[in-house]
Chains A and B, each alone.
Chain A
Amino acid sequence: MKASSLLDADSFRRHRLAYACAAGIVVLALVETANALLAPLRAPTDRDWRSAAAAVRAGFRPGDLVVAAPAWADPLLRMHLGDLIPLAVAGRLDAARFGRIWEISQRGARASESEGIRPAQSSRHGALTLRRYERPASQVSFDFVAEWSRATVSRVAPGGQVSLCSRVPDRFECADAPAQSVKAELLEIDTSPHLALATSLTGDATTVVEFDRVPLGRELAVGAGLHNVWLRKSGKGTVSLRVLVQGRELGRIQAGSLTGWTLGRFDTSTLAGRSESVRFEITTDDPSARYLGFAAEARS
């Protein structure tokens, strides 16, 4: 059968664009239908996850980091490999201290932790891709959160009066502000987990957390942010974290409801190899519903 007996060639010539648009919609419908039927089959299966998890376990070394890409797959990753992701690793300051990173990826995604690194090893597990990345890791000479009990915590009133806070088994308590404590705690900051030194803020005093004889490296990495989505929603104040080494200010981090987890990397290369006191001063313009978390590592 000739096309001319099926189609009106004259009309086709006159309305080419309109026919192309109409045909495009029909083709779109076919593509969308096919995708709706086939796309669910592209999702990783439990078998894929088990296979990838087994491969990670076979090569895992203590101190390795395991991540999912995209990040929304993290609960499934943890269901299969959560025993390799303790709280301290899940609530890390950042990924700099991890020299080996295992990434279980789907749909071509890359984790932020592996950005800019070439994979040392890669394998397919159904719809999942397992990659191992290796890189020189930062050596942490002092982890301020892990060493929280070595701190001295005090509150300095606007007039300069200092009140020392006392250490109880799991925290520091401040006699002049019973509602305030300083402790190592897993926090939700910017909807991500962070194991941090946590303190709620009360009054207009400056909260001081000081560590003596900290072995310094080439940099001091400090992360800070406000905990708890509901507190961030209800509070308005900005919290300032001032970082000082041997009384000299290295920098400040401002934490507000919308600032998220802010990471500051302060150069301490001139002090590398020395043990110095590191002081964190916390102030706010409005302490209502402000709960600060900060973590820090001295790194070489």
Chain B
Amino acid sequence: MTAEVGQRRGWRRPWIVPLALALATSGWLLAVEGHQGLARDEAQYFRAGERYWGWFEALGEAVRARKPGRAFSRAVVDSFWGDNHEHPPLMKTLYGLSWRLFHRCDCVGAKQGLHPIAVHGKHRTLPLFSRESTAFRFPAILLAGLGVGLVYGFARRLVGPWAAAGAAVLSVAQPHYFFHAQISCFDAPIAVMALLVGLAYWKSLRSPRWGILCGVFYGFALATKHNAWLIPCFLVVHYLWMRRGDFLRLRPARVPLAFVSMASLGPIVLFALWPWLWHAPVARAREWVNRHAQHEHYNFEYLGKNWNLPPPPAQTGRWLLRATFPFVSTAFTVPVTTLALAAAGALVLARRRRKTDSTDEPAVINPEPPALGARASWLRPGADVDLAPGMFLAVQILGPLGTLALPATPIFGGVKHFLTAMPFLAMLAGVGLAWVTQQATTLVRPSRLRRALPAALATLLCLPAVAETQRSHPDGIGHYNLAAGGFAGGASLGMNRQFWGYSVLPLLPWIKAHRPPSNRIYWHDVLHDAVMMYVRDGRLPLGIGDTGVGESVVAQSDLGIVILEKHFAVYEYLHWAAFQTTRPAQVYAHEGVPFVVAYQRGAPPPRQEPLPP
């Protein structure tokens, strides 16, 4: 092999593995997303995304009419971008764009009126997907693939290729993360954005180019979800730790380019991407911040109790119990082997600087040691110091979890609220995997066996996570790990089983078959937007009834469903009272754990079978 060929392969190789991982991830998600129902919030983002696309259509029309300014008027901007303005637009815009490009148009005729924007004729598209919902979901799925590739790239700076590949697989092979990775919401996308910003910040410690990019990526993150507000806080903690020597020498640390860039370019990118801000940037940005800073408490089941109120200050025990939620949820939802690897990785990183036994090959590659004689500047603020990867991962993991544990934080619930920690947790697990591999290769003598060990161990140690994730689908958010006892164990522990009403999907054929003559159907937590998308996807017939939301309409229905969340019990009892029976006509269960019940007025005693997932 010539040096040139070797160099070329060396240049190409770093892209092949992450690309393959990204494609495999997106392929996996695309292969299974059709079994996962439409989440309540997701259905609103479908609607908003289509409306946002409508603005681009309006812009095109204005340009054709030689009056482009018309599309930028406040009235026109607000009529499209005012929808769902409590969340920034980047992902919704991508969802709308993807829908416009890739759906199989069935948009004229009977379904024409089901769209939130006017449909003037059959759309010319590249019809990649048979269901419109898949076309909406496609950007989220691609982004999840990118996230896996990024985990590989980032982890590769710390560990070898097999351990990095293992970290990448473990980042998506988590039932709760996997659930969110395939739907067109913001939780997996913001996790990927946090990773992207984190990677850019990491590289900016030695490269000014990445300092600038960090600000641009931060703008993307801001335009994805408000969790982005927290990202700089975590990075500042790392930065101060990394430069703690300055404080010891009573020398203030320099403000690095990455932070300057995030503070300046971030808001500019957000503003550029969010037309809703254009006509009243300060007032509307304040409205956005206030909406989330003063968020209401959600209902959420944790350890057998429904939490929807902050405990009185006197009840210390309840405060403490609530504070444990993100940590207990992580311990019960992430595959146990992944957690064990992460624990090993944490130990390895904690001991990294103290390790003196030079006879052992280091498990962790020293991440870009400082060059001899290098001097730090605000452009290269990490040039002269160790980059402290342990602290970096610690703040990225514990930061989101700790924020949710604070008493002042509204009750949210759901792993999704600290999902940004999970790619970093997987990276930590990758370090653990490298350590296990190192132990094995040190112990084993035959060289052929030693060479095979990294791949074999990476495969073996990723297997449980992949198997658990496959097992959990399509009810990933109801899944609990080996320590909790799976679906049934989680239910017995009184952990939240689901939210967003996505789980109705397996019941749709039954509902179709048992549609009452009155067409009065109560859909509970399945929003009208979701029902309409099921119709557009061809999973429900046109004209399917929807009595609407609220307790009063239950009695007006002849068929009703109830999504089984603890705080939704009241809706089930309303059915009992209205239909004068406690007997559901149908139940959807996963591994014997009920998720949805359906009631039918005057239903004959049927021969029932709970629906399998």
A22, A185, A188: the one contacting B439 at CB < 8 Å is A22
Among B308, B344, B464, the residue within 8 A (CB) of A229 is B308
CB of A11 closer than 8 Å to a CB of B:
yes
Taking the complex as formed, is A5 at the interface, i.e. its CB lies under 8 A from any CB of chain B? yes
CB-contacts of B386-419 with A (<8 A)? none
Q: Are B488 and A15 in contact (CB under 8 A)?
A: no
A188 and B577 within 8 A (CB): no
- Cα distance, A107 to B449, chains bound together (Å): 42
A192, B569: Cβ atoms closer than 8 Å: yes
Q: From A86, which residue of chain B is reached at the shortest CB distance? A: B582
Please determine whether A44 and B297 come into contact, CB atoms closer than 8 angstroms: no
Q: A25, B341: Cβ atoms under 8 Å?
A: yes
A35 to B468, CA, bound (A): 9
Q: How many chain A residues touch the partner (CB < 8 A)?
A: 62
B566 within 8 A of A: yes
Distance (whole angstroms) from the CB of B576 to the closest CB of chain A = 6
**Inter-subunit contact B584/A78 (CB<8 Å):** yes
Q: Which of B487, B569, B573, B594 has the most CB of A within 10 A?
A: B573
Partner of B491, one of A6, A15, A30, A72: A72
Chain A nearest CB from B256 CB (Å) reads: 37
Which A residues lie within 8 Å of B573 (CB)? 91, 186-188, 193
Interface residues of A in 167-185 (CB under 8 A from B): 185
- Cα of A76 to Cα of B586 in the assembled complex, Å: 9
Q: List A residues 35-54 near B (Cβ within 8 Å).
A: 35-37, 39-40, 43-44, 46, 49
A residues in contact with B583, CB < 8 Å: 78-79, 82-83, 85
- A33 on interface, CB distance cutoff 8 Å: yes
For B6, list chain A residues within 8 Å (CB): none
Instruction: Enumerate chain A residues within 8 angstroms of B492, measured Cβ to Cβ.
Output: 70, 72, 107, 109
- Determine which of A5, A19, A191, A228 lies in contact with B445 in the assembled complex, contact meaning CB atoms within 8 Å: A5
Alpha-carbon distance A241/B498, docked complex (angstroms): 36
Chain A residues with CB under 8 A of B449? 6
- Chain B residues lying within 8 Å of A33, measured Cβ to Cβ, are 463-464, 467
Does A87 count as interface, using CB distance less than 8 angstroms? yes
Contacts of B566 in A (CB 8 A): 191
Interface 9-mer from B332-340, B376-384, B515-523: B332-340
Flag if A29 contacts B440 (CB, 8 Å): no
Q: At the interface, yes or no: A58 with Cβ under 8 Å from chain B?
A: no
Q: How far is the CA of A152 from the CA of B482 in the complex (A)?
A: 56
Q: Which residues of A contact B443 (CB under 8 A)?
A: 7-8, 11-12, 19
Check A25–B436 contact: CB distance below 8 A: yes
A231 → B minimal CB distance (Å) = 10
A42 to chain B, nearest CB (A): 8
Closest Cβ of chain B: how far from A174's Cβ, in Å? Answer: 22
Q: How far is the CA of A191 from the CA of B585 in the complex (A)?
A: 21
Smallest distance from the beta carbon of B446 to chain A beta carbons, Å? Answer: 7
The CA of A249 and the CA of B411, in the complex, are separated in Å by: 40
Q: How far is the CA of A25 from the CA of B461 in the complex (A)?
A: 8
Q: A8-B442, A86-B582, A87-B577 are in contact. Are A107 and B488 (CB under 8 A)?
A: yes
Of B224-232, B524-532, B602-610, the one with at least 4 CB within 8 A of chain A: B602-610
The minimal Cβ–Cβ distance linking B63 to chain A, given in whole angstroms, is: 48
Known contacts A29-B460, A39-B591, A72-B593, A79 near B586 by CB under 8 Å: yes
Chain A residue at minimal CB-CB distance from B595: A75
Residues of B with C-beta under 8 A to A185: 577
A-B contact count (CB 8 A): 176
Whether A28 lies near B336 (C-beta < 8 A) is yes
A117 at the B interface (CB under 8 A): no
B337 is contacted by which of A25, A80, A188, A229 (Cβ under 8 Å)?
A25
A67-95 interface bits toward B, Cβ cutoff 8 Å, 1 = contact, 0 = none: 00010110110111011011100110000
* Contact for B610 among A46, A83, A228, A229, CB less than 8 A: A46
Could you tell me if A22 and B576 are in contact, using CB atoms closer than 8 angstroms? no
Residue contact B444 to A7, C-beta cutoff 8 Å: yes
User: Could you tell me if A80 and B608 are in contact, using CB atoms closer than 8 angstroms?
Assistant: yes
A-contact bits for B548-591, CB 8 A (1 contact / 0 none) = 00000000000000001011011001001100111111110101
* Bound CA span A85–B580, Å: 11
Q: Are B486 and A39 in contact (CB under 8 A)?
A: yes
State how many angstroms separate the Cβ of B433 from the closest Cβ of chain A.
9
In the complex, whether A106 has a CB less than 8 A from a CB of chain B is yes
Q: Is the interface of A mostly helix, strand, loop or mixed?
A: helix
- CB pair B577 A26 closer than 8 Å: no
Q: Does B306 contact A70, Cβ atoms closer than 8 Å? A: no
* 18 A-B pairs (CB sep. < 8 Å): A7-B445, A15-B442, A19-B439, A24-B340, A29-B461, A32-B335, A39-B591, A72-B593, A76-B587, A76-B592, A76-B594, A79-B583, A83-B605, A106-B592, A191-B566, A232-B308, A233-B297, A257-B309
- A111 to chain B minimum Cβ distance, whole angstroms, is 12
B524 smallest CB distance to A (angstroms): 14
Min CB gap A221→B, angstroms:
22
Interchain CB contact under 8 A, A188 and B461? no
Give the most central of B449, B457, B592: most A CB within 10 Å.
Answer: B592
**CB proximity to A under 8 Å, residues B426-484:** 432, 435-436, 439-440, 442-446, 449, 457, 460-461, 463-464, 467-468, 470-471, 481-482
Q: Is the CB of A191 within 8 A of B336?
A: no
Q: How far is the CA of A139 from the CA of B337 in the complex (A)?
A: 54
A31 beta carbon closer than 8 Å to chain B: yes
**Quick one: closest B residue to A53, CB to CB?**
B608
| Contact of B471 with A15 in the complex, beta carbons under 8 Å | no
Given A35-B482, A193-B573, A258-B309, A25 and B344 contact (CB-CB distance below 8 Å): yes
Alpha-carbon distance A70/B304, docked complex (angstroms): 12
Query: Are A191 and B306 closer than 8 Å at their CB atoms?
Result: yes
Interfacial chain B residues near A25, Cβ < 8 Å = 337, 340-341, 344, 432, 436, 461
Q: Is the CB of A85 within 8 A of B587?
A: no
Given the known interface contacts A191-B567, A192-B569, the answer about A6 and B593 at a Cβ–Cβ threshold of 8 Å is no
Q: A47–B609 Cα gap in the complex (Å)?
A: 9
B439 adjacent to A18 (CB under 8 Å): yes
Which of chain B's residues have a CB closer than 8 A to the CB of A26? 436, 457, 460-461
User: Across the interface, which residues of B come within 8 angstroms of A91, CB to CB?
Assistant: 573
| Additional A-B contact list (17), CB under 8 Å, known A73-B592, A79-B610, A193-B576 | A6-B445, A6-B449, A11-B442, A25-B344, A26-B460, A28-B340, A37-B471, A40-B591, A46-B608, A72-B491, A73-B594, A79-B586, A83-B605, A87-B582, A127-B592, A230-B570, A233-B299
B567: which A residues are within 8 A, CB to CB? Answer: 191, 229
B451 to chain A, nearest CB (A): 15
- Binary interface encoding of chain B residues 299-325 relative to chain A, with 1 for a CB under 8 A from any of its CBs, else 0: 100000010110100000000000000
Which residues of the partner chain A approach B172 to less than 8 Å between Cβ atoms? Answer: none
- Give Cα A15 to B446, complex, Å: 19
Q: How far is the CB of B201 from chain A (nearest CB, A)?
A: 31
Q: How far is the CB of A188 from chain B (nearest CB, A)?
A: 4
Smallest CB-CB separation from B301: which chain A residue?
A191
Most chain B CB within 10 A, of A7, A18, A37, A187, is at: A18
The docked-state distance in angstroms from the alpha carbon of A90 to that of B335 is 37
CB of A43 within 8 A of CB of B488, answer yes
Q: Is B105 an interface residue (CB 8 A)?
A: no
A12 to B446, CA, bound (A): 15
Shortest Cβ distance from B347 into chain A, in angstroms? 9
Q: Tell me if B269 counts as interface (CB < 8 A to partner A).
A: no
**Residues of A close to B446: CB separation below 8 A:** 5-6
Q: Judge if B597 is at the interface, Cβ distance under 8 Å.
A: yes
Query: Is B610 within 8 A of A76, CB to CB?
Result: yes
- Chain B residues whose CB sits within 8 angstroms of the CB of A8 once the complex forms: 442-445
Q: B439: shortest Cβ distance to chain A, in Å? A: 4
B residues in contact with A87, CB < 8 Å: 576-577, 580, 582
